[in-house]
Structure 1
Amino acid sequence: MHGLVKIKTTLILAVLSMNILLGAMPALLQAEPQFATIGSGDVSGIYYPTGLIIARMINDKRQAYGVRMTVESTPGSVFNVNAITAGYLEFGLVQSDKQFQAVTGRAEWTKKGPQSGLRALFSIHHESVSLVAAVDAGIETLSDLKGKRVNLGHPRAGQYQNAVDALKSAGLNPNRDILPEKAKAAEAPRLLQDNRIDAFFLTAGHPSEILTEAVSGMRKVRFIPITGSGIDELVASTTYYTTTRLPVERFYRDAKEAADVETVGVIATLCTSAVVPDHVVYVVTKEVFDNFDYFKRQHPAFGDLTKEGMLQGLSAPLHPGALTYYREAGWVK
């Protein structure tokens, strides 16, 4: 009899323990962290460290936020937009021109149509379109690229269209008037030094490891201005191109005639998808803006950032999570 009571007591305790565990399961599930990945760019560019900086800021507070982030190196803006809208990435760094073209169904998205699920968080650093040419190739203007071997960049990177736009503004057909190469940006300095190309385009913030490598080789290079009436018309006809100066004297003094040159630029932006949870987007926005001074110090390319400027260059609708933060902070009514 005593043994029977003991068995019943054990069963009752087991049932009670199970009920307690089942009742606690929703809370346990809520405590599970949400995972998110940022699509960046080539590891030698600025997009990759930018993604790492943001992810580290979020992961340092993962217990408070309930969010864990990773960074993936990608071919760049076009890839990131497509991966975001397909659900493979939660976030991606995207040039402002690619953001505009995606939401309006232009350029790479002409056949697909407007990418209505793309959402914006904020802008980051300015990026200038750089044209680097070997001195021995005799290139001093955009027009001198005719008949030359020119790397335009990977077609799934934002810089490819920038190169095409610059060439067309000078009256050059990128398929007929030059010998085009489509290698990744990080490969261009080596191709130039090996005399396999005469020049290359690069859209990047500064300082850029790729440009530093380009000016440090045995084959001397110069930076070519991207100017002219065609460029003026390009800037006037778009919402995303601006005139700017390439800081050659500050960062790339090993170039021949190391003086700043005039060019055009775009802005790096952080994008996401409409289906990414509001909470995840909110904490990313909040962490960067609440720790703005810290964020600025993490990379030289962020040196000129302002909070007001980080709301410029956004063509996609703001994600509700970001919008909630901006309203709380008084940035948006």
Structure 2
Amino acid sequence: MKKIATATLVGMLSIPAFSAEFITIGTGGVTGTYYPTGGAICRQVNKMKKETKIRCSVESTGGSVYNINTIKNGELDFGIAQSDTVYQASQGIGKFEDKKVEKLKSVMAIYPELLALVTRKDANINSITDVKGKRINLGNPGSGNEATAMTLFEANDIKKSDLSFAGALKAAEMPDALRDNKIDGYFYMIGHPNANIKDATNSVDTKIVPLEGKAIDGLIAKYPYFAKAQIAEGLYKGVTSPVNTFGVKAVLITSDDVSEKAVYTVVKAILENFDSFKKLHPAYNNITKESLLDGLSAPLHEGAKKYFKEAGLL
């Protein structure tokens, strides 16, 4: 009896196990925009799981660089990353010098990410050059956030050693550190509005510092994935007029090794439920189906190409 029962149980368990394909999306810190974006994508994919047999889950990670490396190593199927970091990985430059990620592929560009320098008002930081001698968090090691901050420093002839403290806190730790006067400011490349900066601006008097000037104009001219942008007024407490800055795109990426069916399904799930997808986060307010193809800095995966062509967008 035991043998028959065990065999029946194994048979029952193995049918769905072998018929489903499981995919995982690497995101970022839970207070950022990548984590809810991964959740929003999985929600759309999982709505179709009965017909596609594809199930999607989300993993909180260290961000762009971590996601790319983990996809390269076959430990993640998909990830979200800044378009500048994707460009460096696909070209073998910057953080990926001599470590070109040959199989890296784009799925779609999701929304714009704009660099914010969030500071305590009493730190009197009014421009990028005022960070010298201050306690500034650059981002956790291996994040696109840190990479962009260092690119900005280089353009303005600022070194880490010019700071009195160069922080490497994770995104979730930054608002508390600002409130508790452990840092004077922090950089965050993120979709706006977001919970992290709202937390900071609601708990201490802050200033989001404009990032503008000749050095930044030169930076944008040098790197094709950067573009000028503004953080709109009214998104955060104390921001009463638009703040000039620059940004990139948050890109959904994958590997050549991920099946065409899985990538096709992810793109289809978002485009066929586009209006409901846009309502899942305020950062998606101004995206269009066409904008999903703007700012891609690695080649499109064949599965993505297939659906975009069917949708008349390629």
TM-score, L = length of structure 2: 0.92
What amino acid does structure 2 have at the position aligned with 1:141?
Answer: S
Per-residue Cα deviation, 1:223-256 (whole angstroms, up to 9, x for no partner) = 1110111100000111111000012x2211245x
Per-residue Cα deviation, 1:20-67 (whole angstroms, up to 9, x for no partner) = xxxxxxxx6896110000001111111111111111111121110110
Aligned residue number for residue 71 of structure 1? 58
What amino acid does structure 1 have at the position aligned with 2:199?
Answer: E
Q: Distance in 1 between matches of 2:128 and 2:111?
A: 25
1:289 to 246, 271, 291: 271
**Could you tell me how far 1:285 is from its partner in structure 2?**
0.7
Identity %: 39
Aligned residue number for residue 56 of structure 1? 43
Aligned residue number for residue 248 of structure 2? 266
**Could you tell me how far 1:177 is from its partner in structure 2?**
4.5
Equivalence map 1:1-333=2 (5 Å): 32-112=19-99, 114-217=100-203, 219-247=204-232, 249-254=233-238, 258-332=240-314
**Could you tell me how far 1:308 is from its partner in structure 2?**
1.1
**Could you tell me how far 1:133 is from its partner in structure 2?**
1.3
Q: Distance in 2 between matches of 1:166 and 1:198?
A: 18
Q: Unaligned stretches of 5+ in structure 1?
A: 1-27
What amino acid does structure 2 have at the position aligned with 1:278?
Answer: E
**8 Å Cα contact 1:126-1:265 kept in structure 2:** yes
**8 Å Cα contact 2:198-2:237 kept in structure 1:** no
**Could you tell me how far 1:264 is from its partner in structure 2?**
0.6
**8 Å Cα contact 1:83-1:89 kept in structure 2:** yes
What amino acid does structure 2 have at the position aligned with 1:234?
Answer: L
Q: Distance in 1 between matches of 2:53 and 2:243?
A: 46
**8 Å Cα contact 1:31-1:66 kept in structure 2:** no
Per-residue Cα deviation, 1:73-113 (whole angstroms, up to 9, x for no partner) = 0011110000111000000001111110110011221142x
The alignment partner of 1:216 has SS state of: helix
Q: Distance in 2 between matches of 1:29 and 1:131?
A: 48
Number of aligned residues: 304
The farther-off stretch of 175-184 and 140-149 is 175-184
Aligned residue number for residue 23 of structure 1? none
TM-score, L = length of structure 1: 0.87
**Could you tell me how far 1:270 is from its partner in structure 2?**
0.3
What amino acid does structure 2 have at the position aligned with 1:251?
Answer: L
The alignment partner of 1:232 has SS state of: helix
Q: Distance in 1 between matches of 2:74 and 2:202?
A: 40
Q: Distance in 1 between matches of 2:172 and 2:202?
A: 14
**8 Å Cα contact 1:168-1:174 kept in structure 2:** no
RMSD between aligned residues: 2.0
Structure with larger Rg: 1
Q: Distance in 2 between matches of 1:142 and 1:315?
A: 27
Which of structure 1's runs of 4+ aligned residues deviate more than 3 A? 28-31, 175-178
The alignment partner of 1:200 has SS state of: strand
The alignment partner of 2:217 has SS state of: helix
**Could you tell me how far 1:188 is from its partner in structure 2?**
1.1
The alignment partner of 1:244 has SS state of: strand
